[in-house]
Amino acid sequence: MKSNSEIKKEAIEVLELEAKALLNVASKINDDFVEVIHLILNLQGRVILTGIGKSAIIAQKIVATLNSTGTPAIFMHAADAIHGDLGIIQEHDLIIAISKSGNTPEIKVLIPFLKQTKNKMVAIVGNMNSFLAEQSDYRLDTTVEREACPNNLAPTTSTTAQLAMGDALAVCLQTARQFTDKDFAKYHPGGALGKQLYLKVGDVSNPNARPSVHPDDSIKQLIITITNHRLGATAVQDNEKIIGIITDGDIRRMLEKHDDISQLKAIDIMSINPKEIEEGELAANALHKMRENNISQLLVTKSGEYAGIIHLQDLLKEGII
């Protein structure tokens, strides 16, 4: 059994080996890569990715990345292709085949059929002298010196290189299309990520919870207002104008400073220039503002008018954090 230090050492060696391999692959980005980017940008069809074994798994991930960043893509398993799935390929599609050796039996059987479709073909390949490389119109070199596997057998470094090449394609296409975070949100409506991209402050804050006190209100009235709304804070308004905020923390600090609070009013303990946020802003921006100012609440406004309070707990409930 290896010691803890030996396990850590081996893990570091694996990561360093793969990092070195990626730098080597980066040095092989050539004119073919640039031409493939332009080809996809002008493509009337879709990008079809295919592969076998671990390369097929990488192909599926690249498909997911392309689809989520504005490039329509479909996965076609190399083994299933010759059993009917070749029908996936349409006239204006581009085919990207992924393989480490470029000489696997399934790839050798598939390539002649792909050539018959007359679609342009790109190879993401780890052997530039392979059958796949020779038969492709464009070649993206993902050759690695060795696998991270101690037996130099299990696809590890090679699949990392394939995946990184796919990411390079997707990101270059994304920036070329000027694909923004708003575009990204259209394809990611679910989960915490989606909420960060589309959920607005007004969707999270309760429009019916607008705790407010007058500057001359007593401390008792102030405490009752904060307690009833359970937001840990209240706005202080004078003629509908926000002039301050009072939080649970302000009340605690007041009690530390004063033995007699009977004569105190809201204006005596409020914090001026409270942090505000428009209800149309992203809820994720509210979180950033809270963290930036080390606070738990923000006053919500609508066209400059007081519209409520958003609390850190509201963002927690929605999974923004």
- Per the domain annotation, does 191 fall within a domain? no
Q: What is the CATH number of the domain that holds 164?
A: 3.40.50.10490
- Per the domain annotation, does 195 fall within a domain? no
- Range in 55-59, 138-142, 316-320 the model is least confident about: 316-320
Residue with tokens 């299933």: 80
- Per the domain annotation, does 184 fall within a domain? no
In angstroms, the first-to-last Cα distance of the chain is 39
Answer with the one of 112, 145, 179 that is the final residue of a domain. 179
Average pLDDT, the chain: 90
- Per the domain annotation, does 194 fall within a domain? no
Is the pLDDT score of 192 beyond 70? no
For the ranges 37-41, 69-73, 86-90, the maximum mean pLDDT occurs at: 37-41
- Residue 64's φ and ψ, nearest 5 degrees, are -60, -40
Quick one: pLDDT band at residue 176, thresholds 50, 70, 90?
Answer: very high
Tokens read off for 93: 């599609």
Q: What is the pLDDT of residues 16-43, one digit of tens each?
A: 999 999 999 999 999 999 999 999 999 9
Is the pLDDT score of 187 beyond 90? no
Output the pLDDT for position 259. 87
Burial letters for 61-91: b for 16+ Cβ neighbours within 10 Å, e otherwise? bbbebbbbbbbebbbbbbbbbeeebbebbee
Is the pLDDT score of 321 beyond 70? no
Residue 214 is assigned to a ligand binding site = no
pLDDT average, residue stretch 100-110 = 94
pLDDT average, residue stretch 40-49 = 96
Amino acid, single-letter form, for residue 79:
A
Which H, E and C letters describe the chain, residue by residue? CCCHHHHHHHHHHHHHHHHHHHHHHHCCCCHHHHHHHHHHHCCCCCEEEEECCHHHHHHHHHHHHHHHCCCCEEEEEHHHHCCCHHHHCCCCCEEEEEECCCCCHHHHHHHHHHHHCCCCEEEEECCCCCHHHHHCCEEEECCCCCCCCCCCCCCCHHHHHHHHHHHHHHHHHHHHCCCCHHHHHHHCCCHHHHHHHHCEHHHHCCCCCCCEECCCCEHHHHHHHHHHHCCCEEEEEECCEEEEEEEHHHHHHHHHHCCCCCCCEHHHHCECCCCEEECCCEHHHHHHHHHHHCCCEEEEEECCEEEEEEEHHHHHHCCCC
Greatest Cα pair distance, the chain, in angstroms, is: 91
pLDDT average, residue stretch 51-67 = 95
Instruction: Give yes or no: residues 221 and 106 share one domain.
Output: no
Instruction: Give yes or no: residues 171 and 215 share one domain.
Output: no
Please tell me the distance from the alpha carbon of residue 150 to that of residue 17, in angstroms, as a whole number. Answer: 11
Q: Can you give the residue range of the structural domain that contains 140? A: 4-179
Q: What is the pLDDT of residues 285-313, one digit of tens each?
A: 888 999 999 999 999 999 989 999 998 88
Percent of the chain beyond pLDDT 70? Answer: 93
- Range in 84-88, 134-138, 215-219, 312-316 the model is least confident about: 312-316
Residue with tokens 């923000």: 298
Output the pLDDT for position 184. 65
Is the pLDDT score of 207 beyond 70? no
Instruction: Give yes or no: residues 103 and 12 share one domain.
Output: yes
- Domain tally for the chain? 2
- Per the domain annotation, does 208 fall within a domain? yes
pLDDT average, residue stretch 181-202 = 65
Output the pLDDT for position 203. 85
Instruction: Give yes or no: residues 159 and 209 share one domain.
Output: no
More confident residue, 1 or 235: 235
Instruction: Give yes or no: residues 241 and 125 share one domain.
Output: no
Instruction: Give yes or no: residues 29 and 75 share one domain.
Output: yes
Percent of the chain beyond pLDDT 90? Answer: 70
Q: What is the CATH number of the domain that holds 225?
A: 3.10.580.10
Output the pLDDT for position 188. 58
For the ranges 10-19, 222-231, 278-287, 306-315, the maximum mean pLDDT occurs at: 10-19
Residue with tokens 């070195």: 20
Instruction: Give yes or no: residues 245 and 105 share one domain.
Output: no
Output the pLDDT for position 208. 63
Residue among 73, 78, 74 at smallest CA distance from 51: 78
Output the pLDDT for position 304. 87
Output the pLDDT for position 262. 86
- Per the domain annotation, does 237 fall within a domain? yes
Instruction: Give yes or no: residues 131 and 162 share one domain.
Output: yes
Instruction: Give yes or no: residues 167 and 224 share one domain.
Output: no
- Per the domain annotation, does 157 fall within a domain? yes
Instruction: Give yes or no: residues 109 and 231 share one domain.
Output: no
Tokens read off for 204: 């999270």
Answer with the one of 148, 179, 210 that is the final residue of a domain. 179
Is the pLDDT score of 190 beyond 60? no
Instruction: Give yes or no: residues 163 and 55 share one domain.
Output: yes
Is the pLDDT score of 185 beyond 70? no
- Per the domain annotation, does 162 fall within a domain? yes
Does the pTM surpass 0.85? The reply is no
Instruction: Give yes or no: residues 207 and 172 share one domain.
Output: no
